[in-house]
């Protein structure tokens, strides 16, 4: 098989699942005739027609709510947020309605909400956000955020097949930069399982999304310049979290650095630190540290965005501190 991009992997998963299951349909703003702002859904309309690829009004509450209603009745909608920043418009219906549907009313809600997320693209405050933390905090939602071609493909398939609502964050910086080959077979990646992106023995970096690639870059440099063997754990699923994989890497290296692109306060790193304290504090040789974005709205100018978002050099600096502690 030939190499495809991260974006093409997502598109391929949509094609494959729509082909496999006639109850799957896509809905979103400009996803049909135009193929989506990033062309993720390009070609779907031509193949599956207007009843399964629905161009919607600009209406995040409307389309998420409608997806929930259709999901109750046995369909499997895949909703596109044109930019994931706009998911804030649908926060009420996702957290109050969708997330509670099964628990309070035994209503199935098999649906996916997907969209381009993240920075490093000079997108400014409303086209660069990482709003995952608010949804990880909501019982009833699942959250995945792949960093590789195989995971983008396999997690999308798993998300569509899942019987609950899955928020599928796509990193737009990785859309066309990351290439890979799809695995043989159906390639489904189970939700809730982390992946060891790089084996190592001295220090663990727990991370996800574009920060996986920053961390791998840093790990390479740390090995080369300091002889520190860094293990990089790519969470892939943020809700539910893979506690087993987290504990395993802590027990292996005894030193942990958490890296994420989301802002610091209330970000996932705090939760991970607490879980490590609760479950394997005695295995730590150093405090758990974190590298995150600064607590500011993401600015536009390259000099500002580069300063706010975590870079490989920040990861190297923090990793050295944790390793030496």
Partner 1 sequence: MAARKKTAGGTREPDGSHRAIRTIAPAAPPPGPRPSDHLSRAQQLELYYWMRLTRTLEERLVALYRQTKVVGGLFRSLGQEADAVGSTFALERRDVMSPLIRNMGSMLVKGATPLEILRQYMAKSDSPTRGRELNIHFGDLDRGFIGQISPLGDMVPVMAGVTLSFKLRGEDRVGLVYVGDGATSTGAFHEGINFAAVQRCPLVVVVESNQYAYSTPSWKQTAAKQMVDKGPGYGVATEQADGNDVLAVYDVTKRAVDRARAGGGVTLVELITYRRKGHAEHDNQSYVPEGEIEWWEANNDPIDRYLAVMRESLGFAEAEIAATDARVRTVVDEATEIAEASPFPEPLDCLTGIYADPPAETPLWFREGTRAAVERNERAEGWGTWNAGADEATR
Residues that bind partner 1 (CB under 8 A): 25, 51-52, 54, 56-57, 59-75, 77, 92-93, 96-97, 100, 102-108, 139-140, 142, 162-164, 201-202, 226-229, 247, 251, 254-255, 278-283, 285, 320, 323-324
Which CB, 243 or 314, lies closer to partner 1?
243
Closest CA to 108 of 161, 139, 71, 141: 71
* Residue that has been written with the tokens 């190499």 in this structure: 3
Residue 130 C-beta: closest distance to partner 1, Å: 23
72, 127, 171, 260: which is the annotated catalytic residue? 127
Is 294 among the residues known to form the active site? Answer: no
Nearer to partner 1, 59 or 265 (CB): 59
Tokens of 153: 């493909």
Task: State the Cα–Cα distance between residues 56 and 63, nearest whole angstrom.
Answer: 7
- DSSP string spanning 113-139? EEEEE--SS---TTSS--THHHHHTST
Closer CB to partner 1, residue 92 or residue 199? 92
Measured over the CA atoms of residue 277, residue 281, residue 283 and residue 284, the dihedral's sign is: positive
Report how far residue 296's alpha carbon sits from residue 300's, in angstroms, rounded to the nearest whole number. Answer: 12
The smaller minimum CB distance to partner 1, of residues 220 and 226, is found at 226
Among candidates 180, 177, 105, 95, which has minimal Cα distance to 140?
A: 95
Q: How far is the CB of 25 from partner 1 (least distance, A)?
A: 7
CB of 105 to partner 1, least distance (A): 5
In angstroms, what is the minimal distance from the CB of 279 to partner 1?
Answer: 4
| Residue 61: Cβ-neighbour burial (10 angstroms; 0-12, 13-18, 19+) | middle
Catalytic residue ranges: 127
């Amino acid at each position: 098989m030939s190499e495809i991009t991260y974006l093409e992997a997502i598109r391929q998963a949509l094609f494959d699942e729509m082909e496999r299951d006639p109850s799957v349909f896509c809905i979103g703003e400009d996803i049909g005739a135009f193929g989506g702002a990033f062309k993720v859904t390009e070609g779907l309309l031509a193949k599956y027609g207007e009843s399964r690829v629905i161009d919607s009004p600009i209406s995040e509450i409307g389309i998420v709510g409608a997806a929930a209603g259709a999901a109750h009745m046995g369909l499997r909608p895949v909703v596109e947020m044109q930019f994931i920043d706009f998911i804030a418009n649908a926060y009420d219906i996702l957290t109050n309605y969708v997330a509670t549907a099964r628990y309070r009313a035994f209503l199935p809600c098999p649906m996916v909400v997907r969209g381009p997320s993240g920075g490093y693209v000079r997108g400014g405050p409303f086209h660069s956000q990482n709003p995952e933390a608010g949804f990880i905090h909501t019982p009833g939602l699942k959250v995945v955020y792949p960093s590789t071609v195989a995971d983008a493909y396999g997690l999308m398939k798993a998300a569509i097949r899942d019987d609950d609502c899955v928020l599928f964050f796509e990193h737009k910086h990785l859309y066309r930069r990351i290439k890979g080959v799809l695995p043989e077979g159906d390639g489904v990646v189970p939700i809730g399982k982390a992946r060891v992106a790089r084996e190592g023995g001295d220090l663990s970096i727990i991370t996800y999304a574009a920060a996986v690639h920053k961390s791998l870059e840093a790990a390479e440099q740390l090995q080369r310049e300091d002889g520190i063997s860094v293990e990089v754990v790519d969470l892939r699923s943020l809700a539910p979290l893979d506690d087993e994989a987290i504990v395993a890497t802590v027990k292996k290296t005894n030193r942990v650095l958490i890296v994420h692109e989301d802002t610091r306060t209330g970000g996932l790193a705090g939760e991970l630190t607490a879980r490590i304290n609760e479950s394997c504090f005695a295995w730590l040789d150093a405090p758990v540290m974190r590298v995150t974005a600064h607590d500011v709205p993401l600015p536009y100018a390259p000099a500002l965005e580069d300063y706010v978002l975590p870079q490989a050099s920040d990861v190297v600096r923090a990793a050295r501190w944790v390793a030496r502690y």
